[in-house]
Amino acid sequence: MLSEFSLIDRYFARRARTNTRRAALGIGDDCALIAPAAGEMLAVSTDMLVEGRHFLSDVDPHALGHKALAVNLSDLAAMGAAPLGFTLAFALPKPREDWLEAFSRGLFELADRYGCELIGGDTTAGPLNLCITVFGSVRQDAALRRDAAQPGDDIWVSGTPGNARAGLGVLRGDWPQARIDGADATHFRRALEYPEPRVALGLALAGIARAALDVSDGLAGDLRHILERSHVNAEIDVDALPLSDALARLPRALQLQCALAGGDDYELCFTAAQAQRGAVEAAAQQAGVRVTRIGTITSPETAASPASAGTADAVDAQTRRTTQAWPAIAWRDASGAPLNLTLQGFDHFHAD
């Protein structure tokens, strides 16, 4: 069995050392040394991935290496920050060379595409757990914060959310009644295992969009974080949600469940002034990513009307208080008629 230090050296450190550009000192010392460019801030985010929670025990290690870094790069994208580097801490039940080889390959293939270098880490024995902290560079006044949405802003989403949740449904056999053909199932599974962080889009939107976040826990739940931090409400046109062709072939209820309450696509949800519509479209074209307007930021006073809480007679007082609580999202169809949706984001201490 390889010792911890041999493992790090073989799969991670040697690669990091030959690759070092931005860190003055990388793996092998007590700390890495890193600095943002003059006038820029370091954007920092950390994500922990746990077996059984964020991935299944038989996950392809190459896909896991990709995804572990992708979810972190996605946080940089949501901030409009350019990737610089990352640290990797992981606990492994026991080191298996074939597993580490595939994991590190998936990790570094993505890292190289975004010029994001491994600058430090930690390895220990324990139940499989991956913790990555990622560093990016952004001008403080251009950062896409969650607290910057304003009433009247358009609400946009990138890509076609919901495919990853459909992929999870396929893997877990959630919908035995639904007929899903093989090509669609492959499409969904790919979305789940190899999410593409929207780094180029985030960079192109800096200075154009107002508020942004990446959708990791579901559009309905994550949008609330922008609303809370910006002290606003929202109206969403559910019929405007962009769906992949594969997702559009599922029953409508599953489409909405996947697109609104499913996380793991790591698309960006952002707001921008209506006057910026052309600039947003141009930024998306430059980044090579589809973006779609799905709604509008409303002021806190124009809260969701009672009608938006659905058939009021059918819900008890407790439920009504919950669904009407600020921040409120008014769900509409293309005609503007209210829809009753009782969806919530994925909360890690609740059942999925």
Could you say which residues in the range 142-171 bind a copy of itself, by CB under 8 A? 143-147
Q: Which is nearer to a copy of itself, 42 or 171 (CB)?
A: 42
Query: What does the alpha-carbon distance between residue 192 and residue 140 come to, in Å, rounded to a whole number?
Result: 32
| Rounded (10°) angle between helices 61-79 and 182-193 | 60
**Is residue 348 a contact residue for a copy of itself (CB under 8 A)?**
yes
The values of phi and psi at residue 182, to 5°, are: -60, -40
- 292 assigned to a ligand binding site: no
Question: Which amino acid is located at 113 in the chain?
Answer: R
**Is residue 205 a contact residue for a copy of itself (CB under 8 A)?**
no
- 187 assigned to a ligand binding site: no
- 9 assigned to a ligand binding site: no
**Is residue 34 a contact residue for a copy of itself (CB under 8 A)?**
yes
Question: Which amino acid is located at 167 in the chain?
Answer: G
- 46 assigned to a ligand binding site: yes
Is the N-terminal amide bond of 327 cis, ω within 30° of 0?
yes
Could you say which residues in the range 86-115 bind a copy of itself, by CB under 8 A? 87-91, 94-95
In the complex, the smallest distance separating the C-beta of residue 296 from a copy of itself, rounded to whole angstroms, is 22
Beta-carbon contacts of residue 245 (< 8 Å; ≥ 6 apart): none
Beta-carbon contacts of residue 151 (< 8 Å; ≥ 6 apart): 232, 297, 298, 299
Query: What does the alpha-carbon distance between residue 47 and residue 137 come to, in Å, rounded to a whole number?
Result: 18
Q: Which is nearer to a copy of itself, 126 or 251 (CB)?
A: 126
Q: Which is nearer to a copy of itself, 13 or 63 (CB)?
A: 13
- 146 assigned to a ligand binding site: yes
Binding segment (CB under 8 A) for a copy of itself, from list 13-21, 57-65, 135-143, 163-171 = 135-143
Binding segment (CB under 8 A) for a copy of itself, from list 116-124, 163-171, 236-244, 295-303 = 116-124
Query: What does the alpha-carbon distance between residue 266 and residue 60 come to, in Å, rounded to a whole number?
Result: 19
**Is residue 237 a contact residue for a copy of itself (CB under 8 A)?**
no
In the complex, the smallest distance separating the C-beta of residue 307 from a copy of itself, rounded to whole angstroms, is 27
**Is residue 5 a contact residue for a copy of itself (CB under 8 A)?**
yes
**Is residue 125 a contact residue for a copy of itself (CB under 8 A)?**
yes
Could you say which residues in the range 44-73 bind a copy of itself, by CB under 8 A? 44-48, 50-54
Which among 310, 184, 172, 334 has a CA at the least distance from the CA of 251?
184
- 103 assigned to a ligand binding site: no
Contact 127, 94 (CB under 8 A): no
**Is residue 352 a contact residue for a copy of itself (CB under 8 A)?**
no
Contact 268, 213 (CB under 8 A): yes
Question: Out of 122, 181, 239, 281, which residue is the one contacting a copy of itself (CB under 8 A)?
Answer: 122
In the complex, the smallest distance separating the C-beta of residue 124 from a copy of itself, rounded to whole angstroms, is 5
**Is residue 133 a contact residue for a copy of itself (CB under 8 A)?**
yes
Task: Please give the distance of CA 201 from its chain centroid, rounded to a whole number.
Answer: 13
Length of the chain: 352
- 319 assigned to a ligand binding site: no
**Is residue 120 a contact residue for a copy of itself (CB under 8 A)?**
yes
- Cα torsion angle, 221, 223, 226, 227, sign: negative
Could you say which residues in the range 280-339 bind a copy of itself, by CB under 8 A? none
First and final CA of the chain: distance in angstroms? 38
Annotated binding site for ATP: 121-122, 146, 216
